[in-house]
């Protein structure tokens, strides 16, 4: 199947990045969100990120203008029904994702492929709530989407070969690299990454090191570009906790137990960069460790 039009559900950090890369690759994009403010903020972010690419010589001003012209927005989920491909990029809660797909079903073309950008939730389970589990799969982009090269392709138990081949070609056309992952909790990247972050939080919780010493140790001792606590703030502590809970519930192994300190930060609303406080306080000119 040839994909020409793409609907993106959710205009947040991931959704606007997904819309950006698809428009840049020549696809017509319809971006949906529950608020007009969210949509306008997404368009502003996309323009800023395209401008950055122009200033660095990655794209021309003409390419930027053409990409922007390919993006339209809507508050009505039903408007996405005629798209060839729909990518759900809403919050990482299964009930929210299920409700979105159920609301979409009456408006879909028979040929529309459904995908979820979930970073951890069962693709098979999400697909089972739709009328086309054979045309459903996971399409997990990394954050920030315009910069990161990897896309995890996750096949549900019912995903057919045509859908897989079509999405593999889509990822190639985006100029990104596809990694094939089986449908197990958190797939590949987050199955490895988030427990590492959780262990860093335990290291802080147990007093082995401070926020600064833990992050410096991993940056200088393991050559990581960001420390694990800094990275957790960038991802969002609520997202990290949600993924740890998926791992803990799905694999029933105590090694995936979320650190109580991570739970406490989320309960406090200290979710990282997006709330201005997490393991660092971002309200000043320079981020300051909170512990």
14 annotated ligand binder: yes
Q: In this structure, are strands 177-181 and 5-9 parallel, antiparallel, or unpaired?
A: unpaired
**Residue 155 CB partners (closer than 8 Å, separation 6+):** 123, 137, 138, 164, 180, 182, 183
Spatial separation of the C-alpha atoms in residues 138 and 186, rounded to whole Å = 11
207 is in an annotated binding site: no
Residue 213's closest CA among 279, 135, 161?
279
Q: Is 13 annotated as a binding residue?
A: yes
Distance CA 46, CA 52 (A): 10
Is there a binding annotation on residue 11?
Answer: yes
CB contact at 8 A, 25 and 174: yes
- Known binding residue 76? Answer is no
Q: Is 238 annotated as a binding residue?
A: no
The answer to whether the annotation marks 32 as part of a ligand binding site is: no
Is residue 97 annotated as involved in ligand binding?
yes
Report the catalytic residues.
119, 140, 152, 190
Q: Please indicate if the annotation marks 92 as binding a ligand.
A: yes
Annotated binding site for NAD(+): 10-15, 33, 92, 97, 119, 143, 274
List binding-site positions. 10-15, 33, 92, 97, 119, 143, 274
């Amino acid at each position: 199947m040839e994909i020409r039009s793409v609907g993106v559900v959710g205009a947040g950090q991931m959704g606007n990045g997904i819309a950006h890369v698809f428009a840049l690759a020549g696809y017509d994009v319809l971006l949906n969100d529950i608020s007009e403010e969210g949509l306008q903020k997404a368009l502003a972010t996309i323009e800023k990120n395209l401008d950055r690419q122009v200033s660095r010589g990655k794209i021309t001003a003409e390419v930027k203008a053409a990409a922007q012209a390919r993006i339209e927005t809507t508050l009505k989920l039903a408007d996405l029904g005629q798209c060839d491909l729909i990518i759900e990029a809403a919050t990482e809660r299964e009930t929210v994702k299920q409700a979105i797909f159920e609301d979409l079903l009456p408006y879909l073309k028979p040929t529309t492929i459904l995908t979820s950008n979930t970073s951890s939730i069962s693709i098979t389970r999400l697909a089972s709530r739709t009328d086309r589990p054979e045309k459903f799969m996971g399409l997990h982009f990394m954050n920030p989407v315009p910069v990161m090269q990897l896309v995890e392709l996750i096949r549900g138990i019912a995903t057919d070969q045509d859908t897989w081949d079509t999405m593999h070609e889509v990822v190639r056309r985006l100029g990104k690299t596809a990694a094939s992952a089986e449908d197990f909790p958190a797939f590949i990247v987050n199955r490895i990454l988030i427990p590492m972050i959780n262990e860093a939080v335990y290291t802080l919780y147990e007093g082995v090191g401070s926020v600064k010493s833990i992050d410096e140790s991993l940056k200088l001792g393991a050559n990581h570009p960001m420390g694990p606590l800094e990275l957790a703030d960038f991802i969002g502590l609520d997202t990290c906790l949600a993924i740890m809970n998926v791992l803990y519930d799905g694999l029933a192994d105590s090694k995936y137990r979320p650190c109580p300190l991570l739970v406490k930060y989320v309960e406090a609303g200290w979710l990282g960069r997006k709330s201005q406080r997490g393991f660092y306080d971002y309200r000043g000119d320079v981020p300051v460790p909170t512990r």
